Amino acid sequence: MRRILHCDMDCYYAAVHMRDDPTLGGRPVVVGGDPQGRGVVASASYEARRFGIRSAMPAAHALRLCPQVVFIRPDFSRYRRESDRIFAIYREYTPLVETLSLDEAYLDVTDHLERHGTATAVAREIRQRVREERRLTVSVGVGPNMLIAKIASDFRKPNGLTVVPPEKVQAFLDPLPVRRLHGVGPATEAALKELGIATVAELRSHPLAALLERFKSHGRMLHDFARGLDVRPVAAEHQRKSLGTETTYPRDLQDLGPMDEELGRMAEEVGDDLQRRQLAACTVTVKVRLDDFTTLTRSRTVQVPTQRPARIASLAHHLLRLTPAGRRRVRLLGVSASTLVPATLLQLELFEALGEADRPTSGEPAQET
């Protein structure tokens, strides 16, 4: 039986600024784009969330909800440096750390409990050290797999610890709304509601054949997750063949402007992650999930490997326009980098300065439906 931790920093971007600027203490803080333009919220303090402000919300709407909100432009270099220090703490407990973003990670501590005895003890110590050494808070979920640990980490935010022993997995899951399961967004939730399914317990009692008929291969995942089954391994850095980030939005995005800003934010995260790992990417992929749950990807392979957020963002903006985005509503966006090479190859970027910009070599972008 595995022991998995999911560590999720609390309102990370906003929390870093509030720690470093004492005048922000107790005030509603939003990190994001220009509220006078088409910016979106990247992070909101819990003081701001009390007004209904949420990530991915248009910044203008956030300002209407809370006119006294303090807007701060993102500083990804600062977030990356802080993330490096936090993740260094994680790696003192296990080498099996899977980075999901600058503020979120899975840790597999199954074979690294000699000093502490239990995964719960590890989680408590990690939370204490992050609080004392970095003056930030992290919520941690502990469970027998990634699915359970992820749900648990969100259970008592902020600054929470939720432990789900293997024998209590089903009792933990059954009363939850199906939306809490990984991979269940608004469209799947609505489709399940049409079948009379609102809770995990109701999903668990639904026949697998019926789920496969309605959701195809996605139905198998729903069937397994409703039973707390998740065999995905925690992928340490040396195992990664790609890295990326994606967001499912509480409200579908309709205009290209906010979508471009979201892709820019994700490109910053991916570029920072590549730099931290001393890697560069030859391929950039944009993932788009439409309002009817159709999922498309568009990829571009370039001659010159890159780790620069601006270059990744430029490619992502181009790839987005090869999809129906802007004509169709979008419920999920993602940016990923693959065909990773050592950053020592980045001297090739000299050619860009000489006018030899990254030229596509892969022909037509790939599509997945």
8 Cβ neighbours under 8 A, 6+ residues apart? 103, 104, 138, 139, 140, 141, 153, 154, 157
> Quick one: 368 exposed, middle or buried, by C-beta within 10 A (0-12, 13-18, 19+)?
exposed
Report how far residue 44's alpha carbon sits from residue 32's, in angstroms, rounded to the nearest whole number.
Answer: 9
DSSP-derived pairing of the beta strands 242-253 and 279-290: unpaired
| 104 annotated active-site | yes
Sheet containing 279-290: order of strands: 242-253, 330-342, 279-290, 295-306
How many angstroms separate the CA atoms of 213 and 362, rounded? 35
Q: Match 């995260």 to its residue by tokens.
A: 269
Catalytic residue among 82, 104, 268, 269: 104
CA nearest 323: which of 355, 269, 366? 366
Contact at 8 Å (CB) between 31 and 19?
no
Dihedral, CA of residue 12, residue 13, residue 19 and residue 25, to nearest 10: -100
What is the Cα–Cα distance from 365 to 319, expressed in whole angstroms? 8
Distance CA 114, CA 91 (A): 15
Cα–Cα dist 91/106, whole Å: 11
- Dig out the tokens for 25 from the structure: 């203490």
- Reading phi first (left if > 0) and then psi (alpha if -120 to 50, else beta), residue 168 is in alpha
Query: What amino acid positions are annotated as catalytic residues?
Result: 104
